[in-house]
Structure 1
Amino acid sequence: MFDTAVESTYVWLALAVVGAGVFGLALRIPTAPPPDATGVARTVDSVASSPHEATARHPLDARQIRLGSHRLGLRGPGGDAHASLAYGPVVPATGGDGDRLAAVLEGVPPNRVFASKQRFARALDRSRVRDPSWQPAPETLVVRRVTWGEVNATLVGE
């Protein structure tokens, strides 16, 4: 009557394993939602689709950003979020010619930063083909559509 049944030991062991698994899963559930990559993509698309020069700012709630010419990704405490850009390609204003492109993004006319339209177009092409990588995210993402003669671009950066 006071003996332990062999089956009950296995049941308790199985319950302990399942309980530990559920506890581990509960610890992995993020406490915050992922960043809103779709909202950022809509802001970029609204500027990129404009027939005229335009500028927009979008606040970011992410730790890192990965900006490509056709996609963007945001990484935050709640996980990663990605979105495609409908009106690409856009030009990340970072790295290489990034300082000059960042000046144009901030509002300086391209003809005051670049010696010619051809050099401006080459800087845009170099930035477009660069492989995207995760970078620290700014507090606000700036998007600007720029036109210089027949050279059109949508610059995105901080």
Structure 2
Amino acid sequence: MFETHVDTLYLWVGLGTVSVAVLGVVASLPTTAPPDATAAAATIDEVTTSPPGSVTHRRLIATEWAFDGREVRLRNDGGTATARLIRTAVPARTDRLQAVVNGERPQAVYDSPNAFRRDTRRARTKHDGWRPAPDRLTVRHVAWGGTDVTIVG
């Protein structure tokens, strides 16, 4: 009646090992979904293929982002996502380009169309890697003085 069964000890050790393994798997699962870079790229492509003056906003659920004009990379605790664009766009890397993307007319920000063109070319060639992601992505299609670009900021 009070005999100990040898196989009972093995059963408890096995059950404890499985429980610890399951706990480890559950603890390592991400708490959030990876960001949606495809939706961000689709938003940029929509404005890029629209007439000048088009603007749209998209909420970003990401902690960091990288945008080089050809692809959007978003990162958060859930992972990293990348999406390529149909047409190239210009990242708003300068204060003046950010002002234009926020609604200022290029004529009010730049001295000449050539200054605007130079600034957009520099922004396309500069790569600054991962940056903190904004809460909201703003995309604006601008045409002035022979320069027709979509600015993203």
For the superposition of Structure 1 and Structure 2, which TM-score range results when normalised by the shorter chain? 0.7 to 0.9
1: distance between equivalents of 2:25 and 2:42? 34
Q: Flag as ranges the 4+ runs of structure 1 deviating above 3 A.
A: 18-26
- Name 2:90's counterpart in structure 1: 91
User: 1:123 is paired with a residue of what secondary structure?
Assistant: helix
Structure 2 residue 105 is the aligned partner of structure 1 residue 112: no
Number of aligned positions between the proteins: 149
Which position in structure 1 is the counterpart of 2:53? 53
Partner SS state of residue 98, structure 2: helix
Specify the alignment match of 1:44 in structure 2: 44
The residue type paired with residue 26 of structure 1 is: V
Give the 3-state SS of the residue equivalent to 2:140 in structure 1: strand
Deviations 1:62-86 (A, max 9, x none): 1111111101111122111111111
1:97-134 CA-partner distances (Å, limit 9, x unpaired)? x1111111111111221111111111001100111411
Query: TM-score scaled to structure 2, two decimals?
Result: 0.83
User: Post-superposition shift, 1:140?
Assistant: 0.7
C-alpha RMSD of matched pairs (Å): 2.5
TM-score normalised by L of structure 1: 0.81
Letter in 1 for 2:91: P
How far apart are the structure 2 equivalents of 1:66 and 1:19?
Answer: 40
Instruction: Return the alpha-carbon distance in structure 2 between the equivalents of residues 127 and 75 of structure 1.
Output: 22
Instruction: Please state how far the C-alpha of 1:19 moved relative to its aligned partner.
Output: 6.9
In structure 1, runs of 5+ residues without a counterpart are: none
Match 1:100 to one of 90, 96, 99: 96
Shift of 1:26: 3.2
